[in-house]
Amino acid sequence: MKLDNIYQEEKKSNFAKVSEIIITMASRPSGFIGLSILIFHVILAFISPYIAPYDFKAINPTLMLQAPSAEYWFGTDDLGRDVFTRTILGGRTALTITFFGSLIALLWGGLLGIFCGLVGGKTDDIVMRIVDAFLSIPWILAMLLIVSLLGTSTEVLIPALGFFYGKGIVRVARAATHDVIAKDFIVSARARGHSNFSIIWNEIIPNVRDAILVEGAMRWSWMLLGFSSLSFLGFGVSPPTPDWGLMISNARGLMSFAYWSVIAPIVGLSSLIIGINLTADAFAKALGIDRSTKAPV
């Protein structure tokens, strides 16, 4: 609440600011749940190679489609691989690729948006048209094209995803910049004769940063869903690397009699998306930003 700001005193260190934001986020039930899920997944991604009970690619025809048991907690898949092992490992690639993808989206989307908001006029119109035109191509088709031309390596996927998911960020950054630009403190800086760089860095970025970060966090969960869809279609992670999208795709024909092989990756994927989503939402609320974009799930 605004009135409370009156009682805040003195400048805080960046560390203090960040921890205050995190505490505020966690003090809401939804934020707490979101943060816990996200942290759980991140930790899991780091430690899963060390705690995985079996080799994720060890095929064993004799153990095909075993129901969950004490030995194979989540059962086995159609090639006799341990579903638990593959599930705890299955988020690593997606998480890494989409994390860096989001960073790229943030970077180009944020910078281009700020630029457009700053220059305005014709240049802004033209750039936005181009961005719109580019992105009106169904992204999945474009991704398929890119992937089939350049392959599915990380070096291709990260920038490609980053590019496609930057659009929303361009819009948000542009709108936020537009709002700030009209303020007298920018006029004041201009009239003093500060360089454009100094105006962007000192006056604009501190005021649009929050909005852009929140949008970036939101885009992350969208991107995760998108990336998993790619894997599902066979254009993301290539076998035998475990990946939830791929696992769902492989096992979906077996759903009626081997539900376990598909439920575990679904739970993994959806919980991560929900976790990021809730976190982004709580992040926005903690920063006092009103978001209207809907979550992907």
Partner 1 sequence: MTEIIQKVKNLSIGFKSKKGEEILILRNISTNIKKGETVGIVGESGSGKSTLALAMMGYVKHGLYTIGGECEFNSSNLLKMKNRDLEKIRGRKIAMIPQNAGQALTPNLKIGYQIDEALQLHSDLKEEEREQKISELLNKVRLPSPETIALRYPHELSGGQQQRVAVAMALAGTPDLLLLDEPTTGLDVTTQAHVLELLNFIAKDTGTSMVYVSHDLGAIAQVSDRIIVMYSGEIVLEGPSRDILKKPIHPYTYGLLKSIPKLSLAGLPQSMPGSQPQPGTMHRGCSFFDRCNFSEEKCKNNSPQLEYLEELKTSVRCFNYKSLMNDSQVNQTVNKIKMSFQDKEILNLSEVSISYAKQKLLDQVLNRISDDNPTVKDININIKKGETIALVGESGSGKSTILKSIAGLLRTKGGIIKFDQDRSLSSDLKERDPNDLRIIQLIFQNPDESLNPNHTVEEIIAQPLKLYFGLKGEELKKNIIDLLQKVRLGEFYMSRYPRQLSGGEKQRVAVARAFAAKPDIILCDEVTSALDVSVQAAVLNLLQQLKEDFGTTYIFVSHDLAVVRAISDRVAVLYQGRLCEVGPSKDVYQFPSHPYTEVLLGAVLEPDPDIKPKLVAEDIVEEKPPQKGCSFQGRCSRILGDICKNEVPPWQITNSGNSIRCHIPLKELQKDQIN
Per CB under 8 A, residues contacting partner 1 are: 1, 3-11, 183-185, 187-194, 202-203, 206-207
- 8 or 136: CB nearest partner 1: 8
Q: Kindly state the smallest distance separating residue 210's Cβ from partner 1, in Å.
A: 10
Q: Using alpha carbons, select from 152, 158, 163 the residue that is nearest to residue 99.
A: 158
Taking CA atoms, 266 is separated from 243, 249, 271, in Å, by: 11, 10, 8
Residue type, 99: F
Q: Kindly state the smallest distance separating residue 109's Cβ from partner 1, in Å.
A: 21
- 153 or 188: CB nearest partner 1: 188
In angstroms, rounded to a whole number, what is the distance separating the alpha carbons of residues 220 and 58? 32
- 13 or 292: CB nearest partner 1: 13
Q: Kindly state the smallest distance separating residue 126's Cβ from partner 1, in Å.
A: 15
- 151 or 206: CB nearest partner 1: 206
Region label for 151, one of left (φ > 0), alpha (ψ between -120 and 50) or beta (otherwise): left
- 194 or 291: CB nearest partner 1: 194
Residue corresponding to tokens 């700030």: 180
Q: Kindly state the smallest distance separating residue 9's Cβ from partner 1, in Å.
A: 7
Q: Using alpha carbons, select from 227, 219, 223, 224 the residue that is nearest to residue 291.
A: 219
- 206 or 239: CB nearest partner 1: 206
Q: Kindly state the smallest distance separating residue 123's Cβ from partner 1, in Å.
A: 14
Q: Kindly state the smallest distance separating residue 48's Cβ from partner 1, in Å.
A: 40
Q: Using alpha carbons, select from 173, 171, 199 the residue that is nearest to residue 185.
A: 199
30: which 2 tokens?
Answer: 């939804």
Q: Using alpha carbons, select from 131, 108, 112, 72 the residue that is nearest to residue 261.
A: 72
- 9 or 155: CB nearest partner 1: 9
Q: Kindly state the smallest distance separating residue 3's Cβ from partner 1, in Å.
A: 6
- 2 or 294: CB nearest partner 1: 2
Cβ contacts of residue 176 below 8 Å, gap of 6+?
Answer: 113, 117, 207, 208, 211, 212
**Residues 98/160, Cβ–Cβ less than 8 Å:** no
In angstroms, rounded to a whole number, what is the distance separating the alpha carbons of residues 248 and 269? 10
Q: Kindly state the smallest distance separating residue 24's Cβ from partner 1, in Å.
A: 10
Cβ contacts of residue 11 below 8 Å, gap of 6+?
Answer: none
CA angle, 191 then 194 then 197, to 5°: 135
